[in-house]
C-alpha cells in the first residue's frame, strides 16, 4: 500500500514539476536570486572560485571588480525545436549573471532573460535574426507549446547551472600535481 501511495504521489508530482513557473522579481521579470552561506570562506577565495567557474563555462565577463567583490557576466542557453525526426536549434535565451561576494557568503542573480530567434541565413547557417522576445512573456501565438517548452528548458538549465555554481564555489582548491618520482639508476 505504501508503495502504491508513493507511486501515486510521484504521478501527481510529475506534471506539477513540468509546469513549474519561472521565478519572477517584483518587476515581473524572470530572476533567479539566492544568497548562499559559505562559512569559513573568505571573499577573495569566493571571488576566485566564481571567476574560474565563469571562465570555465564560457561566460563573457563584463565586470570583474575584485575590490568590490562583484562579477557580472553574460551567456546564452541554446533552445531546440524537437521536430518530428531530430531536434533543431530554434533560438537562444541570453541572460546576465551577477555575483557579489563577501566573507562567508555570496549572492547570485540570473536575470535579463531575452530569447533570440534563430533562422538559417542565405548561406544556410543558423544565425540570430535580430528578433527578440522577453522570457517572461506568457504568450507566443502560433507556437505556445514550444514557447512553454523553451521556458521549462530554461528553468531546468538555470537550476542546473545554479547547482553546479554552488558546488564550485565551495570546492576546495586542487592539490598541486605530485612531482614525478625520481628514478635512480641503483634501484
Binding site residues, another protein, CB under 8 A = 81, 83-88, 90, 119-124, 127-133, 140-143, 145-146
- 46: helix, strand or coil: helix
In sequence order, the β-bridge partners of residue 73 are: 61, 97
CB of 92 to another protein, least distance (A): 12
Of residues 146 and 168, the one with the C-beta less far from another protein: 146
CB of 89 to another protein, least distance (A): 9
CB of 54 to another protein, least distance (A): 19
Of residues 47 and 118, the one with the C-beta less far from another protein: 118
- Tally of CA atoms within 13 A in the half-sphere of 109 that contains its CB: 14
Cα(82)–Cα(152) distance, integer angstroms: 14
Cα(91)–Cα(71) distance, integer angstroms: 26
Of residues 42 and 88, the one with the C-beta less far from another protein: 88
Amino acid at each position: 500500500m505504501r508503495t502504491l501511495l508513493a507511486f501515486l504521489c510521484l504521478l501527481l508530482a510529475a506534471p506539477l514539476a513540468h509546469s513549474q513557473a519561472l521565478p519572477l522579481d517584483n518587476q515581473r521579470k524572470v530572476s533567479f536570486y539566492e544568497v548562499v552561506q559559505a562559512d569559513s570562506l573568505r571573499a577573495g577565495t569566493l571571488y576566485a572560485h566564481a571567476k574560474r567557474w565563469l571562465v570555465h563555462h564560457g561566460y563573457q565577463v563584463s565586470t570583474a571588480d575584485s575590490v568590490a567583490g562583484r562579477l557580472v557576466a553574460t551567456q546564452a542557453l541554446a533552445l531546440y525545436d524537437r521536430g518530428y525526426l531530430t531536434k533543431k536549434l530554434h533560438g537562444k535565451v541570453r541572460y546576465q549573471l551577477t555575483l557579489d561576494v563577501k566573507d562567508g557568503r555570496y549572492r547570485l542573480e540570473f536575470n535579463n532573460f531575452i530569447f533570440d530567434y534563430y533562422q538559417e541565413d542565405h548561406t544556410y547557417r543558423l544565425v540570430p535574426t535580430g528578433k527578440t522576445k522577453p522570457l517572461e512573456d506568457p504568450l507566443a501565438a502560433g507556437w505556445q507549446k514550444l514557447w512553454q517548452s523553451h521556458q521549462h528548458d530554461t528553468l531546468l538549465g538555470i537550476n542546473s547551472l545554479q547547482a553546479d555554481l554552488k558546488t564550485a564555489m565551495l570546492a576546495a582548491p586542487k592539490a598541486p600535481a605530485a612531482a614525478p618520482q625520481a628514478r635512480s639508476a641503483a634501484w
